[in-house]
Structure 1
Amino acid sequence: MQPPLADARPIVRSHHGDEIEDRYEWLRAKEDADVLAHLEAENAYTASRTAHLEPLREQIFEEIKGRTLETDLSVPSRRGEWWYYARTVEGQQYGIHCRAPIADQDDWTPPLLSPDVPVPGEQVLLDGNLEAEGHEFFSLGSLDISTDGTRMLYGVDVSGDERYTLRVRDLRTGEDLADLIEGTFSGAVFSPDGRHIVYTTVDDAWRPDTVWLHVVGTDAAADVTLFTEPDERYWVGAGFTRSDRYLVIGVGSSITSEEFLVPADDLTATPQSVWPRREGVEYSLTHAVVGGEDVLYILHNDGALDFELVRVAAVDPQGERRVVLPHAPGRRLLDVSAYRDWAVAEYRRDGLARVGILDYATDTVREIAFDEELYAVGESGSAEWAPPVIRLGFASFITPGTVFDYDVARGELLLRRRQPVLGGYEPSDYGQARIWATADDGTRVPVSLVWKRSFGEPGDSPRPTHLYGYGSYEHSIEPGFSVARLSMLDRGVIFAIAHVRGGGEMGRQWYEDGKLLNKRNTFTDFVAVGRHLVDAGYTTPDRLVAEGGSAGGLLMGAVANLAPDLFAGIVAAVPFVDALTTILDPSLPLTVIEWDEWGDPLHNADVYAYMKSYTPYENVQEGVRYPRILAVTSLNDTRVFYVEPAKWVARLREVGADALLKCEMVAGHGGVSGRYNSWRERAFELAWLLDVLGVADATQ
């Protein structure tokens, strides 16, 4: 079967005296019959080219399925008079949200539930399988329970465009109320008194810009606007403090933020700015009561690159600041979450996530220790104001997802659950390590590795290697556990994460050094890591594959142009590969609010020239032998439009590259919905990678 060739319908784009002929921009017309026919042809071609992998795909899917306890329950979390949890049932795609009553007010030990034994007093709140009936796609974007436990709100998206329809359910009767709010963003919540719902909506550029107040039981047409942000560079969000004292409305860009307080008992009051926004200053707050005084703990970067924590009086937040945790270079403070008796601090140090308890009286943090070289950890959060424990999520490359409760008074970690991995999984069969590669400018770039020991230690002899990267928005890629990854490791593949600049793994400067006019560092770091893996004997170019998604897909497209000889294959998921076209159009998502991340090529000639020098679509080269490429996208993605990989693949075909495009016709940025569908999608990608690597099917 011949690959589909998109018609060349040139248009000329001119900026700053530079002209670009774009032959495939016509593919942006999502409703056009020719565009849909082309995408269907791409899917048919990809299906034909990968048909021989069907047995391997099915085997990997069965491996994922066989390692997963399909009928299972999460660890219950307490809220008010109930334990809340989710269950899954073998053969069903979606989770079932449930609750069961607490034994008494002192009951803080989650019940040991069994998927095979009925839970006393269990009430099913929402069954995703029932809600998804009749829909190819289903996603839950909001789920909240009123403080008194009598009502539930939930927001559903059935197309993948991340616009949710909100409904309210009476939990005493199980019936939905008449409330119906269309086109909301995710994260809607009840007010503490349960009489109101606070939600946000987006503008035409998919920017959350307006906060609304809905009175339960009334028509949505009567909803009141609480706050609108007119500046297109900023998004908004809203939520209540754990103390239920305030509604916090947050306004932010990549480099600047401002927060507003509204008393929870007077939600129509004018929002009051905590600190007026200043360009380049970011902050976030949490409310506490210390010594009988309402205070705000504020995390900020005003003169503190890696952030510091201060305390101010809630009645006068712009008054005196008491420094609680001073700026410490190399310790990137990420979040502080206040409870009645103490706060939880989350931060990064030495490339790893950390969690500690902040003592209100001494302004000191007691760090919670873990004994693995690499790991991911974070607070799961609790709706309760005065719990004796905090809930933590922990995992590593070799330790499956683990839930701990940390008893603050006793300083003790209480194991609540470790993700079961069926089929005889033994963590000791696998190894993990941190190594370092040297970038072109001498910067040391951390690399996290995991492998199966029975194939030998990394570096003993060249092995097939799967290298992953992201490197944008100060987002850190953590060394966490993956059931699906075992299908690669058990076939002898080494998995590696390149923690390149632009991410947040090594602190704020690490991010600054990989954005705007430093963005090329992200790409050259990844190439340097790949070359290090080859030079150190871990692998060879014909046994090295790369993967990244979204902004990490931009990374994939850039390194394909920079070092096409270094990789045998590349998977680019929902890839941001036509970045210059997108960032030049203020009407599109990922444009005006993204100028702080990438620069503004529309108004700045230097930024235009710099972006043009690296964006994948414009830099596809003639006369180059590209690695095999699989681009995966979704028709209804509102973050990175399907047209970007569609244009990129069409351009790659012009220069003879072996490139495949797989477009989900009913899905969004996160791909298909439903756990079995997601497993099959991952099996498709992993089978393709194994085929590129030439790895035999046998596992050990």
Structure 2
Amino acid sequence: MKKALIFSLNIIALNMTYGQKMSADGQTAPIAAQKNHELKIHNHSRNDPYYWLNQREDQEVLDYLNAENTYLDNVMAPISDFKEQLFEEMKSRIKEQDESVPYLDGNYYYYSKYVQGGEYPVYCRKKGSLDAKEEIILDGNEMAKDQSYFNIGGFEVSDNEQILAFGVDTVSRRNYVLGFKNLQTGEILADKIELTEGGSYAWAADNKTIFYIIRDQQTLLGDRVYRHVLGTKPEADVLVYHEKDNQFYMGLGRTKSKKYIAIYSGQNGVSTEFQLLNASEPSGSFKTFFPREKGLEYFIDHYKDNFLIRTNYQNAPNYQLMEVSEQKQGDLKNWKTLIAHRADVFLEGMEVFKNHLVIQERKDGLMHIRIIDQKEKKEHYLNFGEPAYDTYVSVNPNFETNILRFGYTSLTTPNSTFDYNMDTREKVLKKEQEILGGFNKSNYKSERFFVTARDGAKVPVSLVYHKNTKIDGSAPLLQYAYGSYGASMDATFSSTRLSLLDRGFVYAITHIRGGQEMGRQWYEDGKMFKKINTFNDFVDCSRYLTEKKYANPKKLFAMGGSAGGLLMGAVINQAPELYEGVVAAVPFVDVVTTMLDESIPLTTGEFEEWGNPKNEDSYKYMLSYSPYDNVEHKKYPNLLVTTGLHDSQVQYWEPAKWVAKLRQYKTDKNLLLLHTNMTAGHGGASGRFSALKDTALMYSFILDLSTK
């Protein structure tokens, strides 16, 4: 009887209708003032009448953003109840009292949990046994009291397991305050260091010295590594490394062996460099593993007396795995190949154990896990058996074990944690994310296929839909993609997405160029002077999805965020007629102006992704696709644009200017809505339930339009 009830509820959901529709009738859209501002370079002039919106503290700017928020609220007022219904629906699928699978690190089992009604995780540990008394390391709910935004940016436990280092951001600018806690007494130590890079903390072996990264407040790039000794004043901390090239990003951590502290400097797709320090010699000097060279990328881990190196050295764009003994890494002739480069397989990562080596490989757009027995020299792959999925190596701090902890998810399978015996090949499911409300994965179908783009490239597409949804050209479809920085958008599960699928939507992820799904060349073919491929791929997939009747051509929707928001801006300039509605979240749309202004955070680190417009050829190419610069007098789809006032990645004024210009130029009567979160940044609201309100806003916008 219960199964029958669940099934009938799904059918009801598929045919659900809801009240009044969004309407701009009778509402007056905000009109931003135009103030001429000439931008001139390469003997070319542009007038930017909305340039003035880049003053975050200016009252006129704040008034405009608030007016846009009010306008959105008024237009969406008729469906406010439906939006709230969606929020409650999404929230009801979440098991409020939940915890992660514990992992053993040293003498303690570590895990996180959520309590009933809690917005933030509580981090815990137990000594020696899961039956031992629980110790609360950090209580996110207590720490977040009276904060409009809150995020814990990683933590590290000292080698003696007594002192916790942790970062906290309460503004959403990703400037973390580094604090310390005595885990034996519960005391918060007086040591406090501001403006650090969250999660980039590394303890020395003496249990009192810690290394951290400070961020430059103009570029918001971490550029300086300091050494701090507990009990001393932060202003006396010693600068141990300064990254002087502002095109490089930085990271900091310990090798899995715990022997070395490593400073990482990298320019994505161009060059990397590591500095190493023996963790038992904290007052020593960092030494370069191998000096940076343009075109040479490498990533390292330490194993016994050797380093394992994942690198593109010797013309290996998909990377090869090499090995070198300690103290001999400075000469490339000493690097020995363990796994050779393969043109059809991208070597994405590795995990080192005493007797096993685990390799993460990507082939034909899918992730594979390869197990190599280092004693027997035998190997095998894990088998997953679904057409579209994602798998990843999880937390594995124990070097001695033969058990691999890995995660698995697909478009129909909630996130699952497994322990895998690499000797016996026994796989044990430790936990599958519980989805409340009668979820049954058998009610959903997943497909994967390739679309031939206009230049012949084969673009993978992963999609999912409810088994009762007819693939006959009548279904609404939401198409999602990212397509930048080599970031692969894998086919993962989403409980919030069920609110679309249960209402008859098809959901498609298009794995366009600019990501790395099909190997390194897939990324190279979607950046710099080949960026247009990213946009073409998305449009070509849109056309295919309607031609093959996965989507009703009058109910095709698109969504992307950040660099994916740039994608949204570019495709609606190229083919606005294809889409009924588009959601552009925190979109990077003012490409040329931003990349010309090195005072804007993160700009310099992006030159190798987009180009440097101070070079005329780059300027002209970027200008040809920059969404803000290519707004025209024509019809555009219904648009919902979101941003955060404190966004450190894409400054709020980019989407604000874009919306203002679209209002000036567009010739249609379609909706154009801007929502600015006045207390958050790039990632939106910080709490697990608060974040659902952002999703409910986007989905209610799309679902309402799909019924017109």
TM-score by length of 2: 0.93
1:116 paired residue number: none
Of the three residues 634, 637, 649, the one matched with 1:639 is 649
Number of residues of Structure 1 aligned to a counterpart in Structure 2: 673
Q: Give the alignment of 1:36-435 within 5 angstroms.
A: 36-103=62-129, 111=130, 120-187=132-199, 188-203=201-216, 204-254=218-268, 255-289=270-304, 294-302=305-313, 303-319=315-331, 320-361=334-375, 365-435=379-449
In the TM superposition, what whole-angstrom CA distance separates every residue of 1:547-597 from its partner, at most 9, and x where no partner exists? 000000000000010000000111011100111111111222232111101
Deviation at 1:260, TM superposition (A): 1.6
Q: Secondary structure at the match of 1:565?
A: helix
Deviation at 1:614, TM superposition (A): 0.2
Partner Cα separation in structure 1 for residue 583 and residue 54 of structure 2: 22
Q: Is the 8 A contact 2:446 2:462 kept in 1?
A: yes
What is the one-letter code of the residue matched to 1:582? Answer: T
What is the one-letter code of the residue matched to 1:285? Answer: I
What is the one-letter code of the residue matched to 1:354? Answer: H
Distance 1:325 1:362, change over 3 A: farther
Of the three residues 655, 670, 690, the one matched with 1:677 is 690
Deviation at 1:509, TM superposition (A): 0.6
Partner Cα separation in structure 2 for residue 423 and residue 339 of structure 1: 40
Partner Cα separation in structure 2 for residue 572 and residue 614 of structure 1: 16
What is the one-letter code of the residue matched to 1:71? Answer: Q
Deviation at 1:120, TM superposition (A): 4.4
Q: Give the alignment of 1:428-577 within 5 angstroms.
A: 428-456=442-470, 458=471, 460-577=472-589
Deviation at 1:512, TM superposition (A): 0.6
What is the one-letter code of the residue matched to 1:34? Answer: E
Q: Secondary structure at the match of 1:404?
A: strand
In the TM superposition, what whole-angstrom CA distance separates every residue of 1:615-650 from its partner, at most 9, and x where no partner exists? 00000011x110011111000011100000000000
Q: Is the 8 A contact 1:211 1:237 kept in 2?
A: no
The worse-fitting range, judged by mean Cα deviation, of 200-209 and 19-28 is 200-209
Partner Cα separation in structure 2 for residue 428 and residue 56 of structure 1: 27
Q: Secondary structure at the match of 2:647?
A: coil
2:660 paired residue number: 650
Deviation at 1:362, TM superposition (A): 6.2
Deviation at 1:342, TM superposition (A): 2.2
Q: Secondary structure at the match of 2:478?
A: strand
2:640 paired residue number: 630
What is the one-letter code of the residue matched to 1:527? Answer: V
> Alignment RMSD, CA only?
1.3
Q: Is the 8 A contact 1:242 1:339 kept in 2?
A: no
1:663 paired residue number: 676
Q: Is it true that 1:587 corresponds to 2:599 in the alignment?
A: yes
Of the three residues 608, 612, 633, the one matched with 1:596 is 608
Q: Secondary structure at the match of 2:493?
A: coil
Distance 1:338 1:192, change over 3 A: farther
What is the one-letter code of the residue matched to 1:501? Answer: R
Q: Secondary structure at the match of 1:199?
A: strand
Q: Secondary structure at the match of 1:124?
A: strand
Partner Cα separation in structure 2 for residue 75 and residue 142 of structure 1: 18
Q: Secondary structure at the match of 1:385?
A: coil
TM-score by length of 1: 0.94
Q: Secondary structure at the match of 1:233?
A: coil
Of the three residues 609, 616, 632, the one matched with 1:605 is 616
Q: Is the 8 A contact 2:473 2:553 kept in 1?
A: no
What is the one-letter code of the residue matched to 2:226? Answer: W
2:22 paired residue number: none
Name stretches of at least 5 consecutive residues in structure 2 with no aligned partner: 1-26
What is the one-letter code of the residue matched to 1:470? Answer: Y
Partner Cα separation in structure 1 for residue 103 and residue 450 of structure 2: 39
Distance 1:364 1:306, change over 3 A: farther
Partner Cα separation in structure 2 for residue 162 and residue 662 of structure 1: 21
What is the one-letter code of the residue matched to 2:128? Answer: I
Partner Cα separation in structure 1 for residue 282 and residue 40 of structure 2: 48
Q: Is the 8 A contact 2:103 2:395 kept in 1?
A: no
What is the one-letter code of the residue matched to 1:670? Answer: G
Partner Cα separation in structure 2 for residue 134 and residue 13 of structure 1: 43
Deviation at 1:364, TM superposition (A): 5.8
Q: Is the 8 A contact 2:355 2:375 kept in 1?
A: no
Q: Is the 8 A contact 1:312 1:318 kept in 2?
A: no
What is the one-letter code of the residue matched to 1:692? Answer: L
2:36 paired residue number: 10
The worse-fitting range, judged by mean Cα deviation, of 339-348 and 544-553 is 339-348
In the TM superposition, what whole-angstrom CA distance separates every residue of 1:484-530 from its partner, at most 9, and x where no partner exists? 00000000000001111000110001111000000000001000000
The worse-fitting range, judged by mean Cα deviation, of 582-591 and 390-399 is 582-591
Partner Cα separation in structure 1 for residue 464 and residue 104 of structure 2: 35
Distance 1:423 1:228, change over 3 A: same
Partner Cα separation in structure 2 for residue 639 and residue 365 of structure 1: 42
Partner Cα separation in structure 2 for residue 569 and residue 193 of structure 1: 57
In the TM superposition, what whole-angstrom CA distance separates every residue of 1:424-483 from its partner, at most 9, and x where no partner exists? 111111000112222111211111110000123x3x332100000100001000100000
Partner Cα separation in structure 2 for residue 413 and residue 582 of structure 1: 49
Q: Is the 8 A contact 2:202 2:261 kept in 1?
A: no
